[in-house]
Structure formats: structure tokens, C-alpha cells
Amino acid sequence: MTDPGPSPPPEQAAETGTLAARIALKQRAGGIVVPIFTVIFALVMSGIVVAATQHSVHTALLVYKEIFDGAGLNWIFHPTTSLLDINAYNLSQTLLQTSTLILTGLSVAFAFRCGMFNIGGQGQYFVGLIVANWLGVNFAGMNPFAHILLCIVAGTLAAAAYAGIAGVLKATVGAHEVISTIMLNWIAFWLASWLFGDGGPLQNSTQPTVPVSNQVSPGARLPDFWGVQGFQGVHIGLFIALAAVVVFWVLLNRTTVGYEVRAVGFNPDAAAYGGISVKKNFIRAMAISGAFAGLAGAIDMLGGTTNYQFGQLDVPFSQVGFIGIAVALLGRNTAVGTLFGALLFGGLLYGSFHGLGSSSVIDPQLAGNLTYIIQGLIVLFIGADVLILYVWNSRKKLRRPPAKPAKPAEATAA
Amino acid sequence: MADDLVLEMRDIRKEFPGVVANDEVSFDVRRGEVHALLGENGAGKSTLMNILYGLYKPDGGEIRLGGKPVSFSSAREAIEAGIGMVHQHFMLIPVMTVAENIVLGTEPRKGVLLDEAVADRRVADMAKTFRFEVDPEARVEDISVGQQQRVEIMKALYRNADLLILDEPTAVLTPQEASDLFEILRTLQREGLSIIFISHKLNEVLEIADRITVLRRGKTIETVPAQGATEALLARAMVGRDVLLRVEKKQAEPGDVLLEVRDLHVRDDRGIEKVRGMSFDVRAGEIVGIAGVDGNGQSELIDALTGLQKIESGTAMIAGRALTHASARAALDAGMGHIPEDRQRRGLVLEFSIAENIALHDYAKPPDAKWGWLFPNRMVQRARTLIREFDVRGGGPLTRAGGLSGGNQQKLVAAREIARDPKVLIAAQPTRGLDVGAIEYLHRRLVAERDEGRAILLVSLELEEIMSLSDRILVIYEGEVVGEHTGEVTEEQIGLEMLGGREAEAA
Amino acid sequence: MSTWAARLENPLSASLRDARATGALGIFLGALAAFLAIPPIEARTVTWPILVGIVAAALGVWTVTRGRRRLGWGAVAAGVLGIGLGILATRSSTENLGTAFDATLVAQTFSFATPLVFGALGGMFSERSGVVNIGLEGMMLMGAFWGVYGADKGGSWAVGLLVAAGVGGLVALVYAFFAIHLRSDQIVGGTGVNFLAVGITGYFFVQLYHNNPIPNGVSLLPNIKIISGNNFFAQAIGDLNILTWASFALVIVAYVVLFKTPIGLRIRACGEHPRAADTVGINVYAVRYGCVVLSGVLAALGGIYLSEGPQGNGSFLFNMTNGRGFIALAAMIFGNWRPAGAFGAAILFGFSSALALKLQVYSGSAATLFQILPYVLTLIAVAGVIGRTVAPAADGKPYVRQ
């Protein structure tokens, strides 16, 4: 990040610079420290819960080993591409989970970069999922490529428009996006329950008593690139998600749209002074944010993560949109950070579901709840970077002489 | 000086990192007097009062209240000791009633309930005693600013204050409201209250005060009785005779009119008309300085000219292009450059790199971008050139702007604005908070840009800066241009006009 | 800004008062339009509902033109809804009508509204003091689980109430520490609390009860009967749960505390202008801690109603709040951060849930869709279409002492 410019080298400048500069330096250090600390902290605390309730520290350690194995991460010790290998299969499932979380994480992260909190990823995910299901079930005779493209694009755009409502409300009447996206979440929740439910418009045509949708027609399904017959394979949605990471990065850092988003996110006053329309950016950033979540819904539907269909009873158990919040926060709202955050949560979700679910270390039913606890702790502590930086900095203080006072001019600016 | 001192402040010293805000300031208040604290912006008046009110801790000196040494560590303790402060920005809750605001924290009770009747009655009684004319049951947001100020005073009185600090109380008032306030202050004085009146308006200080202490650059200059003091005398004491920062410059050679303002009216965000019919021209190759006390319409004028605030009526033309319905973008494209007053809040995105900050206006145009695609290398290239040309120190193109010192941040802003080759350049407080080296650099640069043929509008609260840089000086007061000077003019003369002292001039 | 607006409006206030009455009449007529077609009146012709509904809408339009936008649009909506429901009702069989619209609809409305009232009033205290509480959902969920646990182990619903209140307060205390002292983002913190609550309740539900419904015979929150017999009133409001009665009392208490006591004045001051409160000696942190903890206690009491109340029947289900914390939040916003408003909104939302349940005799599908109503209404409210909702000025902003 540094450039060997003229005059004093940047490092030195940061050392001797203003108070603001030093705080920024610490925060950039915190950029890596806070997420790592937070994860360790959350794992230790939930470990304590397990150790206390199971009366054994050993059990707590075993739990984490099972999650690790269950996520297929021990695959690296015996790599194989054969999905008949249990580790390889587990890893493939972790990757599936990760693809979705990358997208819902990017959704939250993008809005954050424009200074907004899109808490409505779950609702936007439902919208993408609903539209993809509707179009994927119909138009069965279409060219597969065109059909897939139609479903994905339509799902993405619908979710963008849906999220855009919150952006428009913020830009025009100043309604706080947190409140409007919460409301939009629950509207989508009940909309999905109604559409897929008993007598709902998208309910399946063969079993009128089962509140589940039709399956997406075979032509509209995303092909697997790593899978075996009869099992859920890894579909190309993973590549779509990885591409989205690249798009996210490029959009933010290599386009004028991204420049505006970042300027508005960091300092709306300066952005307006620079000639950027702040309102337009609120709407646009919210729509783009929604697009990522909608894309997640669409590829989950077309990729078979939910068996190419969705049911009324699946609605309350779908949490990927909310987990996206944790993913983005943990990834510090950057493209690469979100990728790692998604990988962590993907492993955690599948690993605890599968690893603990199929072993007898603890009651298998505890597994999913443990994930929620870890997730809650991560979100709670990631927001409190003051606390973690305090711990981090007091460690530094022990080693360093006290810093010099700040430059004169800055302090009197007020 | 032995007679009944309510307050003595001796040799108060307060340093902020690198700046001495109060340098051995001494000050006292007698029982029942109105003592004015006079000084320019940044002279140290507010610091001194914040120390007295327990908001800042002094680095040295002694405070005696009623003869006893005191040291407050919070406003609460100051209040308990009988000090009341009316802040410039009122500490009132708009959605609550007058009575609620006044009794907050020391409410009359009836069992567990708030005794509204008693609260209203007490407030009404107080209002009657001091002739405040405020309805206890009115909501604060529904009453005028002048009445809100009275509520602030009543808050202090309700807490039995016997020393009242008023921080620039007339800054927010109309002349009529100000004279009502003075009436109230005299009533309070008769009741035995002592009042510290902070101001930089000479006429009102002379009107209300018994004694006047002048501060300049953190030092006490003198304490004089108001009887016998004149505006001219006070102005000299306030502005001082320090060596000016002289800027070498040739005689200006004004060319075409590049900025033309006619009968401009602008309202601020709260809907109050702050620019009230200004008209002036700025020609190519001249620096026009706008002198005035803070809050007399400078910010609104600048915002209107740069498309950040709506023009209510009148016109502003940049090189023949009208800005009446302009956006910031339109003003920029018409050839407006703007070094804003607050570089950290508005001038820079502190989290952005130097290169990105340089691109702030033209990020969407070649060479920085084409068809929506950014070329960071070209941004960096451009930044590197400008860093060298404007001598921005402390980092390269990819260094965060927030990591630069104030002077270098300001050079960065200037570099961006000047590099766009603007026809008109507005420099608002371009040297605020900078060290001498940076000030000198920016001054020379502004003169050089003038010689390049730009029209430069310099807005500053520092009279010295205006005096040394401008080819022409406009003095504004309450949103109007009240004086224009081209040739020789004394600081006293401008000082008087800035302070609304036109009448005194005639006398 | 508001000063000027208010000044301009002052001369209009007399006519506004008239508009208020007209708007209220409009809403009443709108309700009447629907009421005409259902038992006990049960007009079998659409004429009367349409006529009355149109009058209601007209009154609403007049009210809007007089500046009372929220009330006016409310009356218009009531009129239109009244006509719609009236027409539907005249088309439906008298038998179905009898099932859907009876006295139990009223009782059900109060039953559905009870947890919302507790949650909304809890949220109101927190936000009035300046702390946004997105974590209401989680705090409710904690109350739902630990309340049953307390009632089961303690052998009495009263113990359950105490345990629920205690746990709710504790969770809120943790949240308050993050929001107030660590100044972490309040939305992030609240989201964390919600996740954590799902995890903790789910974990201990498995750990302690192995995911089985909690055994029969748990002491339930009792009903209190004030009217007996078989008449309409006895069925509608004669026999309500103890917490429902408590929720009525709570609204009055909350109103008195917030608007009639010194502590309420201080709470509101902290939410509007904490610095002003600080300069007159109010301990802003203490007030905010108190309010957030209170909000946790109240939310948990709302939560225990779900598991220990007449609908829950003493059993806990995974994530059983299912968004009710957010409806409570919505009710608070819809009610404009006021006790009576929040109560009214909670009743309205409770009514829509009760009606949705009843509508299942017509169509289960439509009943599901009906659940959207609270959220749509709240979205419309924050959009300012029906007048502005105004949050406390310092809501969500951490306060730093000087």
C-alpha cells in the first residue's frame, strides 16, 4: 500500500504524524487483528459453554475437531478428487455453503461501503429465490443456457429493485435503511410463505397438501462440476460467487461507480463537494447490494442447494441472509475478507451440522445451536472493536515508549 | 480592586498541543457588574470560560470564587457553585416545554410525580420578576431564538446562579432581540447578579458593559472601564499592532469580470436568510477579500457560489454562465475552484489516498477515467506531479490523506483546485490552523494564481490575511456588503465596519 | 426549521382540532362499514357497507386537506378496507361468518397483542433514552425459554416470570455495556444479541429437554376472569390472561412514568439531547443503562407469554418468537415512540394476526398473506406517506462525556 514517494518515507510519516494518523495506523492494524481476535474469542467462549454443560474440557476440544473434520478440512491431509472419499465430499458441501455466503456477505459489505446497513439480505435472498423458482419451473422448453441466464438475471434484478425501495426511501424521505430493510425482510418472509404454502401461487401442482414448490425444470439447473451421481455436487454457482468477489472488487476499486460509493461512504459532505450526488448513490448502492443477495437466492434455487424447490417450512429455517451480516463484518467489508469470512462460516455451518450431527461427541441436535452461539458472539464482538483494540494496544504500550504529542495545528482546528 | 470580587482568575494558562490558548490570563468580576470579554475569534475567550465552567482543566493559574480557591472538574460542580453559562449553541431540548427544560435535573415533585403545576408557576413567577415574557407551557421549538436564549438564562437563574456567563449571546439575535436582552441583563444586574459578556461586537460591548477586558492571541491586553472607552481604541487593542505577514506582490492588473454576483439572497439550512442582497464582481487577475465577523453570511455565500446551497433569488455568473439552479457539478464545470473552509469535513475524504483525493472532482473524466472505468495509474501519475509541484510532504500518492499534517492537507486541497485550472477560485479560510511556513506558501501561491489571471475570492476571518493579500476588500455585515476599499485603508476602519460600527465612524 | 413551521401552523390549530374529530369519525365509519356485514347485524346486501365506507373515505380526504395527514389517510384506508371486507362478508356463508367473527376474535386480538405490547413498550423505553434496540427479538426469545424453564423447575409460573425477567434484564445489560460503554454500533450489537439468543435458547433446549416439548403439567400463566357468563363481553374481555391484564396496566404506567415523572423527563432528555442533560447533572449513562435493562425485562415478559401463555401451553419451540420482536419494534415505530401509540399499533397488529387465524376458514393461503400487514403498514409509516414518525433526536447515537 505504500509508495516510495519523494520526501520522507510514509512509514516514518505515520510514526511522527498527527494523532489522527496514528489512530488510523492502529485501525489498519486492527483490520487484521480484530477479526482474528474476535473469532478466537467467540470459539473460546462457546467452548466454555460446551465444557461447562458437558462437564468436560476434552469434549469441547473434540467438538472443534469434529467441526473441523466435518467441514472436510482434513481433506488437505489426504487430497483426492473422488467424492466417494468422505473428506472430499464434506469439503464439497462446505464449498456449496460458502458460495451462498460469499454472495450474501458481499451484499451486506457493499451497502456498508456506501455507509449503509443493509440488514435486509434475507428478504432480498428470498426475492431472488422466488423469481428464479418461478421462471425456472416455467419456460421448460427453453435453451438451457438462455433459461439459466434468464432466471439468474431476473432474480438478481428483482432483488435489486426490492432493496432499492429502501434506498429510495432513504434518499427521498430520509427513512432509516435499517428499519425499512427489516420490514422488507418480513414482507418477503411472509410473501415466500404464502407463495410456496398451501394454495399459494407457486405451490407444486401434483401434491396439493404439501406446501412446497415445483422443482426447477432440468434445463434451468446449474451444472455440477464436481459431483457424483445421486449426491449433491458442487455446481458452477461457486464460480459465479467467486466471480462476484472479483466484480465486487473491480466495481469498487476500478470504476467511477465504486469511487462514488466509497466517497459517499467515507464522507458524504466531501462527496457532495466533489460533485457527487449522495442521494443517487444511496439508491444505487442499495440496489447493487440487493443484487448480490438476489443472486445468492437464484443460484441456490438453480443449483439444487434446496433440491431445486422451496417449501413454506424452509422459510423460517433459511438464515443465509442474516449470516451474511456476520460474514461481511468479519471480512471488514472487503472482497477478500468476505471470501474468508464466508469460508469460515461455510465450514462452521456444514461442519457442525455434519461433523457433530454424525458423531456422538455431544447431542447432535446441539450442533446447529452452537453455530448460532458462535455467530452471535462474533457479531457482538466484531462491533466492539474498541474493546479488542484496547486489549491489542495495551499489549503494545508495554513495549513502546509513550508517543510524542500531536502536531500543533490539528488540535486547534476546532 | 479590593471591592467585593465575585470571581478572580489569576495567570490562567491553557495549552493545547502546540498552541497556547490562554497565556497567563488574568481576569476578575465584581459583584453586580457586567464585565465584557472582548477579542477576535481564537483570542482565547471561550477557552477561558470553559476553564471557569469546569469543561477544561487549566495547566496553570488560580481561580477564586467569592474569595475561595476552586477547581471544577465538571460543569455540574460549576453549576453547584453558582455559575451559569448560556452557550452559543443552546443546551435546550426542542420538543420539551419551556418549564420542562428549566426544571430538568432539579424537578419539583409531588410524590413520585413531576409537579408540573409548581414547575409552571415557578417559571411563570421568574418570568414575571425579570420580565422575560416567556410562556412556560410553550414548546421550545415553537418559540423564537431570542426567547430560547431567555430560557437558557432562566435555567441558570433557576439553579440559583449568581455569576452568569453569556457566550456571544447576540450572535443569533436580531437587533431588536438584542436590545431586549440588554434590558434583561440590566434587570439581572440590579438584582445583584454578575455577568460575563463575551463578544466581539464593539458597539454592544460599550453599550452593556461596566468594564471591558480585551484578549488577543491568548493574552490579556487590558482591562478598562467602559466609561470613556471608544470603539476605535478597543478595535486597536483587539486587532493589535503585531507585525503583519507581508506578502510580496505586484500591482494587480484586473481583466474581465469572471465572477458576477447580483442581489444575491441565500437562506441557511434552518431557513434563515443569511445572505441578504449581495452584489459584487471579481475580475481576472485580482484578489478580492471578504472581511467580516464569523456568521455574517460567509458560509452561505460560498455554498451558493459553489452549488452546494440553493440560491433564493438574485444571480451569480461564472465567466458568463449563470448558476441560479446549479448543482455542485455545474459550478465545477463552469470553472469554479473552491478551497473549502473545513478541509477535513469537506475538502478531503480522509480515508482516501492522496491520488484519490486529487481526483475528487474529475474522477469520472479522462485521464482519470473513461466510460466509467478508473485508471488508478494515471491518478497516481497525476498525484505524483502535483505532490512535487505543490510541495506536499509526508507521503506519496498512495498515502492516506488523513495521515498528512494540516498544512500538507491544505496544500493537497489547493493543488487539486488549482490544477483544474479554474477561472474563479474561492479560498475560504485557506490558512486556518496552519503553521507559518504553510501560511507563507499558500499566500504566495494565491498571489501567483492571481498573476496567472484567475479571479480569486478570499474569505477569511483573519483581518491580517485579508489586508495583506487582497487587491480589493469587501466588508460584510449581516449578509450585506457594507464597505468596499481599494486603496489605503486602516485596520481600525475595516474593524469598525466589520463590527457593525458604521454610526461610530460618522461620529 | 421546525420553529418557523410551527409558527405558521399555530393559527391553524383550531381547525386542526376539528379535522381530528372528523378523521376519527371517518375511521369509526370505516370500521362500521365492515361491521354492518358481519354478525350480529349481518346485513346481506352490499349497499350499506359501500355507502358507509364511501362516507368514511370522504371524511378522510377532507381531514387530509386540513393537514391531519396520518389520521386522514387512516380514515380513507378504513373506509376502503371496510367496503372490501363488507363485500367479502356479504358473499360468504352465514355459517363461516359466524365462525370468523365472534367474541373470541376480540379475545384473540388481545392475546396476540400482549407480547407485542410488552416488547414495544420495552423498545420504547430503550429508544427514548437514546439506545436503539434491535435485539428485542432475542430478548423476547430468552424470556420465552427461560420462563418455561423457571416455571418447570420452580414449580410455579411466578418463578417463571421472575426468571424470564431476570434473564431478559441480564442479556440487556450485556447489550447495554456494548452499546453504551464500548460504543459499538447498536444495530450490529442488537443483531449479535438476536443470533446469540437463538443459539443459547436452542442449545439449552436440547441440553435440558432434548428438544422435546417441555413436559406436561408446567404451571401456566393463569387467566383472570372478571365477567362470567355466556354473553359477548364475557367471551370477549371477561377472561383474559394475567399478562394481558398486566399489559393494559403497563401502558398506563409507561405513560405516567415517561410523561408525568421526573425520571421520565430525564429519560426523554437523554434521548433528545444527552449533552444538555449532562450539563444539568443527569447521569446519561446511568439513565441509558436503566432503560436498556428495563427494555430487556419487558421484552422477556412478552416472550414468556408466547411459551407460558394460553397459546404456548407451556412448551417452548426453537426460535419460537419468529419475528414477533420485530413486529414489536414495528409497533413502537408505528406508534411514534409513544405508549398509547405503541399500544394501539400492537392491538392493530394483534388484530391482524387474530383475523388471519380466523380467515383460515376461508383460505389458509390468504391468511398467511395477511401476516404481511404490520410490516407494510410500518413501511408506509416510515415512508412518511401518512405523516411522519419522529424518533428521539439522539436515538442510536453513543454519548461521549466531555
Summarize pLDDT for B6-29 with one digit per residue, the tens.
999 999 998 876 678 888 999 899
Cβ atoms of residues A263 and A252 within 8 Å: no
pLDDT above 70 (res B399): yes
In this complex, which chains have at least 3 CB pairs below 8 Å with chain B?
A, C
Quick one: closest CA in B to C392, which residue?
A: B95
What does the pLDDT read at residue A17?
35
Residues of chain C in contact with residue B116, where contact means CB-CB under 8 angstroms, are 260
Out of B42, B363, B398, closest to residue A3 by CB:
B398
Query: Distance between CA atoms of B491 and B497, rounded to whole angstroms?
Result: 10
Closest CA to B162 of B26, B30, B1, B27: B30
pLDDT at residue number B41:
67
CA torsion through residues B48, B50, B54, B59, sign: negative
Q: Does B111 touch chain C (CB under 8 A)?
A: no
Q: Which of B247, B218, B172, B257 has its CA nearest to residue B455?
A: B257
From the centroid of its chain, how far is CA C323?
Answer: 12
Chain A residue closest in CA terms to B46: A414
State which amino acid sits at residue A323: I
Gap between the Cα atoms of A130 and B308, Å rounded = 43
Cβ within 8 Å of residue A258, ≥6 positions away: A250, A251, A252, B374
Q: What is the bridge-based pairing of β-strands B455-460 and B424-428?
A: parallel
CA C232: distance to chain centroid? 25
Cell 398473506 identifies what position? C369
pLDDT at A225: 82
For A12, the closest chain B residue by CA position comes to B394
* Cβ–Cβ gap A386/C182 under 8 Å: yes
**Least Cα separation, residue C376 to chain B (angstroms):** 28
> Does any CB of chain B come closer than 8 Å to the CB of residue A267?
yes
Q: What's at B151, amino acid-wise?
A: V
Of A169, A191, A325, the CB nearest to C382: A169
* Length of chain B (residues): 507
Report the pLDDT value the prediction gives residue C386, as an integer from 0 to 100: 55
The answer to whether B319 contacts chain C (CB < 8 Å) is no
Q: Is-contact A189 C323, C-beta < 8 A?
A: yes
Say if the Cβ atoms of B113 and C261 lie within 8 Å: yes
Q: Which of C184, C329, C383 sits opposite A383 (nearest CB)?
A: C184
Please list the alpha-helical segments (H only) found in A174-277: 177-196, 237-254, 256-266, 268-273
Query: How much is the pTM?
Result: 0.84
Residue B220, beta-bridge partner list: B215
Q: Which chains touch A (3 or more CB pairs under 8 A)?
A: B, C
Query: pLDDT tens digits, residue range C145-188?
Result: 999 999 999 989 999 999 999 999 999 999 999 999 888 888 88
Q: Is the peptide bond before C40 cis (omega within 30 degrees of 0)?
A: yes
Distance from CA of B450 to the nearest CA of C (A): 40
Give C146's contacts (C-beta < 8 A, 6+ positions apart).
C163, C164, C166, C167, C201, C300
pLDDT tens column, C181-240: 888 888 889 999 999 999 999 999 998 988 777 666 788 888 888 887 777 777 777 788
Identity of residue A364 = P
Residue C96 and residue C226 in contact, taking contact as beta carbons nearer than 8 Å: no
The secondary structure element, H or E, covering residue B320 is none
Nearest-angstrom CA–CA distance, C26 and C52? 9
Q: Tell me the per-residue pLDDT of B228-239, one tens digit each, with 9 for 90 and over.
A: 888 778 877 877
pLDDT for position C249? 96
Helices (H), C37-93: 47-65, 69-91
User: Average pLDDT of each block of 10 consecutive residues along chain A (414 residues)?
Assistant: 32 34 46 82 90 88 87 80 80 92 96 91 97 93 92 97 96 88 94 90 87 90 80 86 96 95 91 93 97 96 89 89 91 91 92 78 83 90 72 57 38 34
Instruction: State residue B10's pLDDT score.
Output: 92
Residue type, A115: G
C330 touching A, CB under 8 A? yes
Can you tell me whether residue B114 is helix, strand or coil? strand
Taking the C-alpha atoms of residue B161 and residue B155, their distance in angstroms, rounded to an integer, is 9
CA distance A340 to A121: 19
> Which residue intervals of B283-353 are DSSP H helices?
298-305, 328-334
Q: What is the pLDDT of residues C83-135, one digit of tens each?
A: 777 777 777 766 666 666 677 888 889 999 999 999 999 999 999 999 999 99
- What is the rounded distance in angstroms from the CA atom of residue A197 to the CA atom of residue C367? 11
3-state DSSP percent of chain B in helix, strand and coil, to 5: 35, 30, 40
* Averaged pLDDT of chain B: 87
b/e burial code for range C359-368 (CB count within 10 A of at least 16 → b): bbbeebbebb
- Show which subunits contact C, needing at least 3 CB pairs below 8 angstroms: A, B
Interface of A with C in 202-241 (CB under 8 A): none
In a 13 Å sphere around the CA of B439, the CA atoms on its Cβ side amount to: 19
Higher pLDDT, C332 or A364: C332
Flag whether residue C118 sits within 8 Å of chain A, measured between CB atoms. no
Chain B environment of C278 (Cβ under 8 Å): 75
Put simply, the answer to whether B96 touches C272 (Cβ < 8 Å) is yes
Question: CB–CB of B402 and A272 under 8 A?
Answer: no
Contact check, Cβ <8 Å, A179/C382 = yes
Which residue of chain B comes nearest to C280, CA vs CA?
Answer: B105
Q: Which residue has the cell 511556513?
A: B437
**A18 vs B351: CB contact, 8 Å cut-off?**
no
* Cβ pair B136, B142 in contact under 8 A: no
Residue pair C49/C83 in contact (Cβ under 8 Å)? The answer is yes
Nearest CA of chain A to the CA of B300: how many Å? Answer: 14
Contact B269 C3 (CB under 8 A): no
Q: How does strand B273-283 pair with strand B211-216?
A: unpaired
Task: Decide which of A383 and C328 is more confident.
Answer: C328
Chain B residues 304-363 with CB within 8 Å of chain A? 306, 308, 327-329, 332, 338, 340, 344-352, 356, 359-361, 363
Question: In this structure, how many other beta carbons lie within 10 angstroms of the beta carbon of residue A210?
Answer: 13
Length of chain C: 402
CB contacts < 8 A (A, C):
160
Q: Can you name the residues that pair with B275 across neighbouring β-strands?
A: B266
Are residues C1 and B270, on separate chains, in Cβ contact within 8 Å?
yes
Region B260-272 average pLDDT: 88
Residue carrying the nine cell digits 503585531: B242
Q: Which of C1, C258, C279, C401 to mutate to test the interface with B (most CBs of B within 10 A)?
A: C279
Q: Is C183 on the interface with A (CB under 8 A)?
A: yes
User: What residues are paired with B13 via a beta bridge?
Assistant: B60
Q: Comparing C-alpha atoms, which of C213, C124, C182 is closest to residue C392?
A: C124
C-alpha distances (whole Å) from A163 to each of A167, A284, C108, C110 are 7, 10, 34, 34
Q: Packing angle between helix A177-196 and helix A144-173, nearest 10 degrees?
A: 140
| CA nearest to C389 within chain A | A175
Digit-coded pLDDT (tens) for B297-321: 999 999 999 999 889 999 999 988 8
Contact check, Cβ <8 Å, C261/B112:
yes
State the CB neighbour count (10 A cutoff) for residue B38: 28
Looking up cell 483546485, which residue turns up?
B417
**What number of residues does chain A have?**
414
- pLDDT one-digit tens code per residue, C14-42: 444 567 777 778 778 877 777 777 766 66
Q: Which chain A residues in 91-130 lie under 8 Å from chain B, judged by CB atoms?
A: none
Non-local (6+) Cβ contacts of B18 within 8 A are A405, A406, A407, A408, A409, A411, A412
Contacts of A191 in chain C (CB under 8 A): 369, 372
Does C374 sit behind a cis peptide bond, omega within 30 degrees of 0 on the bond before it? no
User: In the structure, what pLDDT confidence band is assigned to residue C270 with cuts at 50, 70 and 90?
Assistant: very high
The pLDDT-based confidence of C262 (bands split at 50, 70, 90) is very high
pLDDT band at C243 (very low <50, low <70, confident <90, very high): very high
Q: Let me know: does B302 contact B261? Beta carbons within 8 Å.
A: no
> What sign does the dihedral B180-B186-B189-B194 (CA atoms) show?
positive
